[in-house]
Amino acid sequence: MVGIRGNEAMRLEKQIGCIKYTIFSFNALLWILGGGMFGLAVWLRVEPGFQEWVEFLDLGDYYIGTYILIIASVIVMIIAFFGSAAALMESALFLWINIGLQLFTFVFGLAGAAVLLDYSTYDSKIQPIIHRSMTSLIVNSQYDRQSQILKIVQENIGCCGANGPMDYLDLLKPLPSECRDTVTGNAFFHGCVDELTWYLESRSGWLAGLSLTLCMLHVIQAVLSLILIEAKKKEDEAAIFKR
């Protein structure tokens, strides 16, 4: 009987060691991905050329999700260290705290990704803002500043008006040369609302995908911490029985 208990204790010890090293590995991955998300989010926020477009078209709401994910990435890197320490100490209290922190960061990261996509995808809240800004620029295109902004946006994106070339005709404005393809001479078919939205989608997709990957890892970490708590409890019970 004693031999059986001894074998069980050894088995539990090996399981606990395996779980701990798995938690360490995932925490290292969390720290790396958290640092990557921080760098990508900061780059999206401070990129000079893109930042000018955001100011031109009054798209400041696009940055809300980016700010949330910057904060989330810092929390992820801190929690990665705390989770490793909790696993190393095998403290049930710290492991429960780690589970709570993992779930909190899961919700925080999920919310950040949701807000980011809600202001950067097709049929999202960003499209009415782009439409309003483009329409205002076309209405005031007789002024140098508005005309220059329209030229920069339409030439670089390859679009015309808010919804298409008809916007200029509907607003009784001449169709500018930057609305035309330099090779064919034809007016661009798509408006800047659609083209800019697709452009924002391509930029935000990587950041949102990284955030969702981290959310999945937080769930795995929470489950592993719970398993470690149960394994440690069984080991303590076996030690008491042995005495």
Average pLDDT score over the chain:
87
Residue 2 pLDDT greater than 80, yes or no: no
Question: What are the tens digits of pLDDT across the range 63-74?
Answer: 999 999 999 999
144: tokens are: 């140098």
Cα separation, 192 vs 155, whole angstroms? 10
Q: Supply the DSSP symbol for 187.
A: B
CA 193 to CA 186: how far, in whole Å? 19
Cα(138)–Cα(149) distance, integer angstroms: 10
Say if residue 12's pLDDT is above 80. no
Query: Model confidence at 5, in pLDDT bands (50, 70, 90)?
Result: low
**Are 178 and 155 spatial neighbours (Cβ–Cβ below 8 Å)?**
yes
Calculate mean pLDDT across residues 128-156: 88
pLDDT value of residue 1: 45
Q: How far apart are CA 119 and CA 96, in angstroms?
A: 35
* Cα 205 versus chain centre, distance: 8
Tokens of 76: 């992820």
Distance CA 140, CA 150 (A): 10
Q: What percent of the chain has pLDDT over 70?
A: 93
The pLDDT value given to residue 239: 61
Check residues 113 and 121 and name the one with the higher pLDDT.
113
Residue 173, both tokens: 């404005």
What's residue 141's pLDDT?
86
Dihedral angle, C-alpha 9, 12, 18, 21, nearest 10 °? -80
**Backbone φ and ψ of 187, nearest 5°:** -70, 145
